[in-house]
Amino acid sequence: MVKALLVAAALVASVAVFLVLTYVRRSLLSRMGTVAMAARLSRRMEGRGWAPGFAVYRQDTLRWYRMFSLALGPRYTLSRTDLHVADKRDPAGAEAQIFPPEVEIIRCKHSGGEVELAMTKSAANGFLSWLEAAPPGAAFYRTGSE
C-alpha cells in the first residue's frame, strides 16, 4: 500500500513538474512575440501528423516551436531567403475536422525539403508579408513553380 502511494505521488509530481516547465518555457518564449501556428510533422496518413505550436519571427528566420515540449530550441528554423510558398489551401478531409474554418494551410519549399504550416488567415497574411518584406537584394516572396 505504501509502495503504491509512493508511486502515485511520484507520478503526480512528475506531471506537475512537466506542466510547470512547459508553462515557464511558453511564458519565456511568448515574451519574444509568438504567433500560433501548427506544423505538419508527418505525412504518413492523409490529413494527419499536425502538431500545435507557435512561431517566432526574427529578421531573416522563422523559428517554430512545439507547444508541448521541454526543448528550449525550435523544431524548425526556416530562413526567409530560402523559403518559397508552393501553395495555399483550406483544410480538407480530416484536416477540416481538426482545424477551425478560419485556418489556412501554406505549403513551403526550402533547401531541406517541404513544410506545411497551418495558421489563421490573419496570421497567414502576416507570414506572407514577412516573406515579402525581405531587404533589398535578398530573396523575395515566390509562389508556384520556380
Q: How far from 45 is each of 38, 94, 105, 135, CA to CA, in Å?
A: 16, 10, 17, 38
Q: State whether 8 and 55 are in the same domain.
A: no
Q: Which long-range contacts (CB under 8 A, 24 or more apart) does 77-80 make?
A: 78/108, 78/110, 78/115, 79/110, 80/130, 80/131, 80/134, 80/138, 80/139
Cell of 85: 510558398
Over residues 21-72, the pLDDT tens digits come to 667 656 655 566 688 999 998 877 676 789 999 999 988 899 999 988 777 7
Q: State whether 26 and 66 are in the same domain.
A: no
Q: State whether 12 and 71 are in the same domain.
A: no
pTM above 0.75, yes or no: no
Domain range for 24 is 1-31
Q: State whether 118 and 144 are in the same domain.
A: yes
Q: How many folded domains does the chain comprise?
A: 2
Q: State whether 114 and 83 are in the same domain.
A: yes
Q: State whether 47 and 24 are in the same domain.
A: no
Over residues 87-124, the pLDDT tens digits come to 999 999 889 999 999 999 999 999 989 999 999 999 99
Q: State whether 19 and 42 are in the same domain.
A: no
What pLDDT sits at residue 145?
A: 46
